[in-house]
Every structure is written in structure tokens, then in C-alpha cells.
Structure 1
């Protein structure tokens, strides 16, 4: 399952985002280190399910389908808030950074209203520059990785040269624990340009920065858009960074809780909701819902929480959704479940990759694949497309 770490300073709405995305119960409070151990829960990315297009009633097993929208599970890790100097062990620094190792990417929650200082304390809105918060986290992660490899760098270079080893393999041995890839190392090395045996600290840091961006990409969630000072700051952030989603985690949490209680009809990611049980809402609650509708949904198109999850998985990690079936005529598995599974795969995956994803034995015994929509055999190196329905034929 894809794992995404939700990171950022204390008190920027990180745990609220996590709660809204997963609708799980975590402690939400306005003081540093509210989250001491990483919380883990399932969130969902959304995509159009083929069931409506095909006029079928699906029976999902590994995911959910509601009104033609397929909800596919991913794992969120709510990592405790960082403070400047975490890579040196300040606060609970190294523990928090270690919690990020297994994540496929980061979602960095930033207080776009500028109402939390660098330590995560509440200040007057507009007095803190969110761009500084982004730089702070980038530096923390960069220096954390540098701390793993920097002290032995000269020895590693000599080893590569004396023993005629491959640069990428030696570096991978050092950094494999944080989830980098051989391909990412090669790409980052080429981006630096100069010979690695001539690198000083500046070039090594540049290499590591490229490597982190490739193997541990980051999405910025500009939170607290309901506070007036956020609008100006969001423009500043978007001028400098391309991966930015404005959001109000607090509004999303309120809407999901209201929907769960049967008070409103709301689809995560939607630009609207419908009150269905007005008699059970008091004036304060109705006023709050109207505020969310006017100042967040109508202005920004959504609360941004679901948009952030979808952008992270489909745009940044470049995943696609494929539906494996055993009966291509009924679009079902052997038990008759229609469109039972929705599988997330990297863009560019082949039917063989899908077979291994389903089960190692199916991959090892793969024979060929069928495009269930067209009813035709496809080549083994066919590049799967988002929404494909595929039958894998294999030996017993």
C-alpha cells in the first residue's frame, strides 16, 4: 500500500488534516508534540469507477464504490511536528525524521495564514512567512540525509575509485534505508553535472537535494485558507512552488463528521454539500456550514483535502488504477464479484507487472493478458492505461 507521510511544524493543522483525510480519532491540540508516536490510518484516493460506464453493479473487495466513484486505500502516517534543528536531535527530531523513512512521499502542511511561528506557537495572523516554513522542512530533511552519508563521503569516493565500483550501487547501499532507488541516484548524479570525485560539500548537498526531490517528492498543502491572511500568502507560495494545494482541513473534518452523522450529504472533494437533516442542526451549526460553503467551497472549489491526496498519488507519484478480472465477459472474479479490485500501479506498468502485483505465483506463471473491454489479447509490454480492465491468463 502506498504510504504518505504528513509532515510540518506543530500546530499548523497537521493532525486535523490527518483526521479529516482518514476520519480517525487522533489527539488534536494547540501545543507542540501533540503527536508523539506516528499515527497511521487508511485514507482514500478517488477515481471514476468503470461500473457506470459499463452499466454494471460492482462488488468491490479491496476498495469502495459510491455513486460511481471508486475509493482506493492508501496509508497516511501522521508524523509528530518538527521544529528547527530537528536533524541535530532538537525536540524529538531524529525520531521524527526516522519515521519518514518508509514514506513514498511527503505532504507538507503549511499554515498559509502565517499564524504560527517557527516553533509552532500561535501568533498574530500574517506575522509568519509560510515560505520560511517550507525552506525549514526542506533543510531538515536534506541535512538529515546528509548526516547519513556526509561524514563517510571521502572514504566512499576512494572505495569507488580503488575498487572500480559503480557510484550508484555504493550510494544505494548507504541510503537504501530511506527508500531511494538506483534509478533516482543515477538521475540525480547526472543533474549535478560535474564528476563525483571532485564534489565538495556544496555539490554533495546539491546531489542529495535532487535525490530527495526524485525519490521523496513533496506536496505543499497551504492550510487554513479560511483565515483572510492566507490568500496573499498562497499566491506567494504558488509563485515559487508548483506542487501546492490550498486547503482547510478544519472545514473538511467538519463536513465529513456531519456527513457521517447523517446531517448532510457530502462527497469528499466536492464543491458543495446538501443539508438533509436540518431539524437536528442548531443555528450555530447551520451558520458554520454556510460559512464553509461561501468562504471555502465556492471560493476554492473544495476544501482541498481530497484534492491533495489525489494529486499526491496520481500526479506526483504518477500512479494509475487498473481493474483485474478473471471473467472478461462478466467483468468479475471467480466468485462472481464484479470489478472486485482496484490496483494502483506506476504509470508505464505492463500486464506482467500487474500479474506480479496480484500475486507472485501469478506473475511467475504469466502467459498473456486480455483487454476485457475490447475482448482482445494484448502484448506483454503493453503500457497499461488508467481505468484498464485486464484479465491475466496464467498456468495453474
Structure 2
């Protein structure tokens, strides 16, 4: 079970999307260095790390879904690997709009970019390719997809909505419903584009639509850029150029939503940990082997390494973990959920844990959109409005049904 939050992993073929999916989930996505390795979107469950209140309240924790380790809770979220896009996909090139349509269900996009410059725009092996081009053209393809759909429909829809005196926001909301778009998203995009005050009859020029679409993408499809293959020879130079470029945000990208990753390193570390060759917590900055593990009990559980595996682990330690602090893949998931603006909610049956409880607490954790009210949260959890009687949080504080759920008041007992 996931929280209902969906991350779409996008990018050109052979950028490392399938490896990224394997690195953050238990999925076994097909991996290959040739175009269209992925035909159907692979899916899996990734885990969003957050601070669990069990540590603060000193109570045992046994999550129903995911897990909790040393006060860090790993909450399941759904992630899909959308088959590789190529330039011209919005006009049907490659596998065309089929890929773009897969994005409709996503809350956030993760754009996996080959930072090494060893694959061209089509995903073929090359040398010296500039990964900045991938960031630009992928954003452009999604923009053309939305803009083209909106422009084709606009004339007839405008006439119909003028007849019933609809607002600009209502009209655009009707147009964009196929993208899973709430009216509030449309309104925020209008505000960002500074087009909120225009009357409907003054709307409809290409410049206005284009301006709106660019802001709509920022709100509806916030994007984390995962600069992948950071341990390759030319990656450092390319990463520096990309960071310089996005000191000033553009193309829907800023330095705040760029993460450096090595998906294959994470896959290998998880594999070695699963096979009991190393002790490694997903996303951490270090691992221990039989030779380096200080705990004698843990040491006995580990197998000794062959020379090849030891050498690869040493390279990962030097080129990835020591240099960058981690493989970056867990940071991508964390940043993606944060960009989506979700708040963790811990529904509990009793608030008596505050006085010390031996029973497992905080078994459930759900992610709700920022702005969700207590009543809306109850409706989602109880699956029925008629069952809702009230809600309270730690300290016996009663929560009004129209109160917005926020961190700090997100441990809730519904009655």
C-alpha cells in the first residue's frame, strides 16, 4: 500500500531511469543501454524518510506499512518509470504522446539526467554530449504537449464558456481536467502568470496561453532533476556547468531541486546488504564489511568479500559516498515529496501514549496535501463523512473541522 502520492521518473532512454527505480524500490525494471528498453511504465513503491514521533514520545513503533529505524520513518509512495522520451515526442516522434500521457497521474516528476555526457539525446552511446540540452528539451516537450492540447481546444471552449459567463479559472480548469488538475492549481498558475485579472473575452492569444502553460507546469508538475552517473569521468565538469546555469531558475529548474545521484551504486549496495556482505542502510553515507564492522554479533553474520566485490565497494566509497555524502537516491524521494507539498499525518486510536505506553503506537502514517482540513483528512481515513464526530491532538487539544492539518498538530485521534 502507498500513500496515494505518485512520482513519475522521466528522461531520455539510457539516462538511468530503470536503475533509479531499482535503487529506490524492490521493482526489477529491465535495464539496458539502448533506446526504448522500457516500453510499459514500470512501477514500484519507494519510501519517503521523515522524522517519526515515536522517538520524541519514547514509545515503541510498529508501522503497518514501511518501517521505522532509529526514529526515521520510511513511508511508502508510488513511483513509475515512464518509458524514455526523445526530442519531438510531442509531435509523435519515438513512441510519442503515449509516454507523455503516462505523466497524467503524477504529482511530481523526477527527471533523471545522464550527467556523464556518454549518451546522446536519443539514448545512444556517445562522448562529450552536453546534459544541459536534456534538461531544456524535456521541459520543452512537456510544454508543447500541454500547450498543443490547450490551443486546439481553446476556440470552441471559449465560445461555449462565454455563453454561460464562466470565469477564466473555470474555463481552464475544464480544459485541463484530463491532467488530474484541481481548480486551485489552475488559479495558482494564473496568479504566477499575472493573468488572474483578465476577463475571459480578453483571453486566448498564443502569448497568454504560452505564459499560462509555463506557470501551470511549475505548479502541476514540479520537477526534481536527478543528475545521475556522478561517478563517471566527465560528470564533475558537467555538474559544475549545470549548477552555474541554474543559479538563476529557468526551464522549471533551480539549484534547490537538483540532486546528485548514482543509482547503480545504490543498487549494488542494496544487493550486497541483502546478501549479507555489508551492513548498509538505504541512502546512508557509509557501510561496514566483515573486516570493518565493530559489533562482534553483526560481524559474525556477514560474509567475507571476494576481490572484485571489495574493489567495487572501495570505488563506490571513494567516488560516491566520500565525495558526495550518499548515492543521493533517497534525497530525491525526500525532495520530490517536499516539492509536492505533502504533510504526514499520524492517526492514533488513543492519545494516552503521552504518559508512556508499552503498546506499539503510530502504526499508520498517511501523506495529505498541504491545505487539507481536519474534516477532509477524516473523510479520507474513515471513508465516510457520517462516521466523523470530532478530532483532537496531543495535549487534549480539540481540532476544528475546518482547521488545516500542519506539522506539530498532525498526531490526530478521530472520533
Relative to the length of structure 2, the TM-score reads: 0.87
**Structure 2 Cα separation of the partners of residues 384 and 198 of structure 1:** 36
8 Å contact from structure 2 (residues 8, 110) kept in 1: yes
Matches within 5 A, 1:287-366: 287-314=311-338, 316-330=339-353, 337-361=360-384, 363-366=385-388
Is the Cα–Cα contact under 8 Å of residues 169 and 187 in structure 2 kept in the other structure?
Answer: yes
In the alignment, structure 1 residue 260 sits paired with structure 2 residue 274: yes
Deviations 1:283-337 (A, max 9, x none): 11111111111211111111110000001002x01212121111111379xxx65
SS in 1 for 2:237: helix
Q: How far did 1:166 drift?
A: 1.9
* Contact kept in structure 2, 1:323 and 1:387, CA below 8 Å: no
What does residue 62 of structure 1 align with? 65
- Alignment equivalent of 1:384, drawn from 384, 402, 405: 405
* Contact 1:50/1:387 (<8 A) preserved: no
**TM-score, with normalisation over the residues of structure 1?**
0.91
Verify the 8 A CA contact 1:331 1:338 in the aligned structure 2.
Answer: no
**Alpha-carbon distance, 1:159 to partner:** 2.9
1:42-75 CA-partner distances (Å, limit 9, x unpaired) = 1111112222222222121133223332110111
**Equivalent residues of 1:237, 1:244 under 8 A apart:** no
Q: 1:366 to 1:155 in 2, by over 3 A?
A: same
Distance 1:59 1:11 in 2: 39
Q: What SS does structure 2 have at the residue aligned with 1:330?
A: helix
Structure 2 match to 1:212: 217
- RMSD value, Cα: 2.0
Aligned length in residues: 386
Q: Distance in 1 between matches of 2:353 and 2:66?
A: 19
**Secondary structure at the residue paired with 1:101?**
helix
* Secondary structure of 1:354's aligned partner: helix
1:279 is displaced (CA, Å) by 4.3
CA distance in 2, matches of 1:302, 1:173: 44
CA distance in 2, matches of 1:140, 1:205: 13
* 1: CA distance, partners of 2:188 / 2:54: 40
Do the aligned partners of residues 35 and 203 (structure 1) sit closer, same or farther apart at CA in structure 2, a change above 3 Å counting? same
Q: Following the alignment from structure 2 to structure 1, what is the Cα–Cα distance between the partners of residues 86 and 132?
A: 15
- 1:103 maps to 2:106: yes
Match of 1:192 in 2: 193
- 1:36 matches 2:60: no
Given that residues 114 and 128 in structure 1 are in contact (C-alpha distance below 8 angstroms), is that contact kept between their aligned partners in structure 2? yes
CA distance in 2, matches of 1:187, 1:56: 41
**C-alpha contact 1:46 1:70 (8 A) present in aligned 2:** yes
Greater shift after overlay, 352-361 or 378-387? 378-387
Tell me, in whole angstroms, the C-alpha distance in 1 between the residues paired with 2:409 and 2:363.
13
Q: Match of 2:250?
A: none
Q: Which residue of 1 aligns with 2:151?
A: 150
Aligned with 1:367 (options 389, 401, 410): 389
Distance of 2:345 and 2:310 partners within structure 1: 41
- Check whether the contact 1:142–1:212 (CA below 8 A) recurs between aligned residues: yes
In 1, Cα distance between the equivalents of 2:85 and 2:414? 49
Displacement after TM superposition at 1:368 (Å): 2.4
Between stretches 65-74 and 191-200, larger displacement belongs to 191-200
1:225 to 1:306, Cα distance in 2 relative to 1, 3 A: same
Deviations 1:97-130 (A, max 9, x none): 1111111111000011111111111111xx1111
Which runs of no fewer than 5 residues in structure 1 stay unpaired?
A: none
Match in the other structure for 1:284: 308
Q: Which residue of 1 aligns with 2:285?
A: 271
